[in-house]
Amino acid sequence: MSWDTVLGHDAVREKFATAVARERLASTFLFLGPAGIGKRTFALKLAQTLLCPRVQAFEPCGTCPSCRQVLAGEHPDFEYLCRPADRNQISLDQLIGDKSDRQGLCQKIAMKPFYGGRKVAILDDADDLRHEGANALLKTLEEPPPKSVIILIGTAEQRQLPTIRSRCQTVRFAPLDWPLVQRILIERELISPTDRAETLARCSGGSVQTAWHLFGDDVMEFRRQWLERLASTRVTGGDFVKALSSFVERAGKDAPPRRRRVIEVAHWAAELYRQAIAIHAYGGPTPAQQEYPDQELLQLAHACAQAWPATLDGLTLALDRCLLIETQAMANAHMQTLIESWLLDLNQAAQGRVPAYPSLATFSPLA
């Protein structure tokens, strides 16, 4: 089990290899990048590499007890924690233990290494750390125990608390190239039949997770209708609010999957308007867009840039509005209200009814 199993991110691996070779590895890292591009896989392989006693040229042996224990989640010097599936945040107990004397991450990482080497901890879902959890972690991040390496994994920079960001070395992970997404979908048999892999990979934004979500029943069809509607000057109308609500509801009975779906839909919309802004600013398709994997979205962006009356102001406002959806959804805004107000605002922007200085401040997040 070598680094060959980690696809993409070669430059990041090289940086870690160099730091380890020079014995200048930092202790606290914050991995950032879109979901579904392999940050967790990378972190696990890094943990295996740092803990393997037979490591050679930054390659873990893959067969020693240490390597096997990391993969099985049973290594005494390795801790992994993530947000529990039924919670919307990392709990304080997970970090500092509970009253029954069970230990949390902060105590476990402070213990002497069982095998005498390093201790490694991965804290996944760092997006879901709240203030009290972050406060509990601060001392550990500020003065990491000797021989310890702590890796936090999150998505966007703005979703990390400043107190956490300032105490970690940020490592950025880029989306994967679409052919690599296609290869992963096929090789790992994530979809069947595999002839859809190319289309899904091209629309994935470089994320295997996004490609996988697009594979669901009717998702690609809804995405196409949604983007067509957003590129027109008539975003609302008919029963489109109902269609979007129903699509979001089909993600699951509970709030978290519905929230994730509305955020995903907002990402598609933001990407459309981002490309349309680039086309408008450049006066046509930009050189970078020649390589853009999703040509269908690009054509719609082009139509949008031409059709909207107050083009730049409208598109900027629409993009801001879509980016705000994530904050609103995460703040548990009422889903139906959120969808209705969002589409109404996009419709205003599409028809050129925009304020003189569009800005995020125009919209305050729903309580």
Interaction site with Zn ion (CB under 5 A): 52, 54, 60-61, 64, 67
> 204: which 2 tokens?
């994935």
Task: Please report the DSSP string for 31-100 in residue order.
Answer: EE--TTSSHHHHHHHHHHHHH-TT-BTTB--SSSHHHHHHHHT--TTEEEE---TT-SS--HHHHH--TT
The answer to whether 281 touches 305, Cβ cutoff 8 Å, is no
Q: Which is nearer to Zn ion, 20 or 263 (CB)?
A: 20
The answer to whether residues 310 and 276 touch, using CB atoms and an 8 Å cutoff, is no
For Zn ion, the closer CB: 76 or 257:
76
CB of 52 to Zn ion, least distance (A): 3
Closest to Zn ion by CB, 8 vs 60, is 60
Q: What is the dihedral of CA 198, 203, 207, 209, to 10 degrees?
A: -90
Which one, 52 or 161, has the nearer CB to Zn ion?
A: 52
The answer to whether 277 and 319 have CB atoms below 8 angstroms apart is yes
Closest approach of Zn ion to the CB of residue 100, in Å? 34
Structural tokens at position 150: 């702590």
Of residues 3 and 173, the one with the C-beta less far from Zn ion: 3
Least Å distance between CB 126 and Zn ion? 27
Pair 74, 115: CB distance under 8 Å: no
If the CB atoms of residues 64 and 92 are measured against Zn ion, the closer one turns out to be 64
**Shortest Cβ 67–Zn ion spacing (Å):** 3
Minimum distance, C-beta of residue 316 to Zn ion, in the bound complex (Å): 52
CB of 122 to Zn ion, least distance (A): 18
Q: How many residues does the chain have?
A: 367
Residue 92 has phi, psi (to 5 degrees) of -65, -35
For the record, the structure tokens of 260 come out as: 């994730």
- CA-based torsion, 196, 203, 256, 247: positive or negative: negative
Question: Rounded to the nearest whole angstrom, what is the least distance from the CB of residue 319 to Zn ion in the complex?
Answer: 47
**Minimum CB separation from Zn ion for residue 64, in Å?**
3
Q: Residue 158: count other Cβ atoms within 10 Å of its Cβ.
A: 10
Complex with Zn ion: residue 48 or 94, whichever CB lies closer: 48
Nearer CB in complex with Zn ion: 71/303:
71
For residues 279 and 289, is the Cβ–Cβ distance under 8 A? yes
In angstroms, give the least distance from the CB of 66 to Zn ion. Answer: 5
CB closer to Zn ion out of 65 and 355: 65
Buried b (16+ CB within 10 A) or exposed e, 21-50: eeeebebbbbbbbbbbbbbbebbbbbbbbb
Handedness of CA 183, 187, 191, 196 (dihedral sign): positive
Residue 156's CB: how many other CB atoms inside 10 A? Answer: 13
